[in-house]
Amino acid sequence: MLMVKYRVLVVTTEYWKPGDSYLQSIVDGVKGKIADGDFVVISEKAISTALGNIVDESVIKPSLSARFIAKYWMRVVWGYFLGPLCDFRKKLLQALRNFPLKQGSAHKQVALQYSGLLQALMFGSEGGIDGSNLPYSYVCLPLRNANDVAQEIRGLLSSTLQRNVFTMIVDTDKTYSFRNFHFTPRPTPVGSIHSFGGVFAYTMGRMLRLKRRATPIAVAGCKISVEDSLEIAQAANKARGFGAGRTVWDMAERLEVEVDKVSWEMLMTVKHKPIVIVRSKR
């Protein structure tokens, strides 16, 4: 079978803070760069942050369950057993073995509240909750209306730029593929990707070394196979990079502050790439 190859163009924008006009930023960013049939791929977290879909974990009071997960499950089970089995980097394993108890317990409480136990037992990005590239003690929640947002973006690009493009919203959380079966631990991927199991799906995918790619959350403007949607999502994700850091620890190290001392101003100094234009070579 002939594999589809893609050209990608990364669009750099200012950091999208809560209340920022991300729609106008998308229009301005792709103007003069898109052609009919292109996919405009946007980061779910960037949109969710701009919409103010964030939680301040500094005001969260953790339950006994959350404190247990932070102190024992994260430090011991992930740090010494599941992490090595999932082939984590040594740097990440060390961070897990020293998982912060106060902030970590609050984070796990948010995960329990918004995503449930099987997601809270993940080592990070529980149910699509993510703290990387966010300041202080904020974390971003996943979009609940991703399809509507994708349709809105496509409609705006069509009406203002007169281009028949397709839009896709993507999360960096991985989808794992075994032959023609695709699954992800995070909720609400596009329809043909199975979502189940939380921590069990994640560890199975990692331990079996299955092919993993970024997860498409919504597609607007066309019908597309799950394989093509995964290829486009991964092409965009690879081109985009990790912003201020792959994890909250990487972000804090890069900006030379403690994890909860990263500011909005610091993040605005980092080059952000929330939009990627993906075009088929065929």
Cβ neighbours of residue 6 closer than 8 Å, sequence gap 6 or more: 231, 232, 235, 278, 279, 280, 281
Residue numbers of the domain that contains 110: 55-140
Q: Is there a single domain that holds both residue 232 and residue 151?
A: yes
Q: Is there a single domain that holds both residue 153 and residue 20?
A: yes
Q: Is there a single domain that holds both residue 29 and residue 77?
A: no
Q: Is there a single domain that holds both residue 86 and residue 203?
A: no
Q: Is there a single domain that holds both residue 157 and residue 206?
A: yes
Q: Which of the listed residues 74, 105, 140 is the one where a domain comes to its end?
A: 140
> How many domains would you assign to the chain?
2
Residue 235 sits in a domain whose CATH number is 3.30.1330.100
Q: Is the pTM of this model over 0.85?
A: yes
pLDDT tens per residue across span 168-200:
999 999 999 999 999 999 999 998 999 999 999
Q: Is there a single domain that holds both residue 37 and residue 152?
A: yes
d(CA 254, CA 277): 27
d(CA 251, CA 200): 27
Return the H-helix or E-strand segment holding 109: helix 101-115
pLDDT tens per residue across span 47-78:
999 999 999 999 999 999 999 999 999 999 99
Is 258 within the bounds of a domain?
no
Q: Which of the listed residues 112, 140, 168 is the one where a domain comes to its end?
A: 140
Is 239 within the bounds of a domain?
yes
